[in-house]
Structure 1
Amino acid sequence: MTDIRPRRSVLYMPGANERALEKAKTIDADALILDLEDSVAPDAKEQGRDNVCAAVRSGEYGHRELAIRVNSIGTEWHDDDVKAAAAAGPDAILVPKVESAEQVRALVAAMEAAGAPEHTQLWAMIETPRALLHAEEIAGAHERLTVIVMGTNDIVNETYGLHVPGRNPVVLTALSWTLIAVRAAGKVVIDGVYNDVRNEEGFAAEARQGREMGFDGKTLIHPSQVEPCNEAFSPSEADIERAQGLIAAFDEAVEAGAGVATYNNKLVEELHVRDAKRILAFADALASR
């Protein structure tokens, strides 16, 4: 099985806010997106760029995966953001509003021209109707693109929809469509944000929905969302016990010459074993951080 890196909780942190970047060192998120786009005012873009690059270079964020979100293609800040981020060498550079495979390849070329180290991946946001129509092409455009992040707020905005509990049908379609495309490419896909930071019950329900759909994790806008998100996307003790028992039952059946087994009165086939092994591998990855 390939190396597993947990990305249950992926927290946005405003790049112009030095206190927030300092606080992020103590937050138990799996990944941090140090943001230069939406959370940074135009007159603070350069300061934010300096802040996030210094944060990456500090090496003080422990197990947390660090991604720098640059400004989108075509903005006056994009090229300088990519050059600075590549030089800082984060785990990833996240680009918003990617809409084509050609853009992915151009972004990789720009990262390489700027000297991005091999460990710096490209992450891309899918958040426009055009991107949704080309999700499979985007996800499979280049091996350096490893993670797709859903921009659900922009999807609602650009389709003239409404934010509703449980998410509106267009958003659910966009999430499902993109998840299938990303899985076909063998990449990671992260669910979008939940806006009402005071609605704990609503957040828990949406995080659970994302896990049930098959997302690897969820992007977050407030530290209070990290713990419930980690819980939603982690296997429970019951999940782990079930996975172990299922594998043992199947192995016993194979040794007896059978192709299938039963566990807790349910049919067990090889595909169930693969899923059980994935759950245990993820639990091991969490335990070894």
Structure 2
Amino acid sequence: MIPTSVIPTLVSTITTSIEASSLYLKKHFGQQHSVLQKDSHRDIITKADIDSQNIIVNTLKRELTQLKIPLNNIGFLSEENLFTHAKYTFVIDPIDGTSNFAAGNPYFSISVACFVEGNLLVGAVSHPIQNKLYTAIKGKGSYIMDMKTGRKNRLKLKEKPVNQSLITIDMPSVSSINMYKNSKLEQIHRKVLGVRILGSAALEVCDIAANQLQASIYGKIAIWDVAASKLVINESGGRFVDWSGDDILFDIHEPEKRYKFVAGHSKLSNALVLALNS
């Protein structure tokens, strides 16, 4: 059993680490960044990614050990070569939307989720440029906080008619674009208010929970991209499912696994799942 007294500690510690990293990224946003390619010219990493990750990891270690949680109970999983598991495993994306960050586009985020004994329990996602912090605790709701003022409001997802819905998608390749042509999904897109490619899955899903977007569809995403935001949208009353309509269960022991997801309110996400399988 997980002591309930531990949960506020995890939330406050994650919040402290994300706020520290957010300040760093805001300071360096808009500057020239050396960019390294990973698998392709679209898959990049900057020094800011590494620095952001180090800030988060070092802050979590410092804060948790001060609270008498031993280091051997703390593990990290991240895109930038962190693969250790423990009782408390923190799944980190130091910059979700690195291409946006490097290009001077403010739509990027920081994501940290905590799995306790393999179960997703706490999640937090920040939008540094807008000073927004989304947090969620399993079974306890999700919230949006202004990192400047500390003002916090509970999130509750609202349904909108399809013709008033704004949807985000991820279509990085020609093959993905062809998949959408002449399909029921394309017909749905013609009926909605708009379709956007924004480039930060974690932030997009959280913005759905805040009723700023209505749905999102991604075809290849990693656990560190969306573990925290899945909890945020679920706790706001929304759905985060695979393309078959089934709930997604993340496995921290399979970091190489990629996921296809649809996120949104029930009516719209159901329609999108049906379209994807037509």
TM-score after normalising by structure 1: 0.25
Question: Which structure features the higher share of strand residues?
Answer: 2
TM-score after normalising by structure 2: 0.26
Question: Which structure features the higher share of helix residues?
Answer: 1
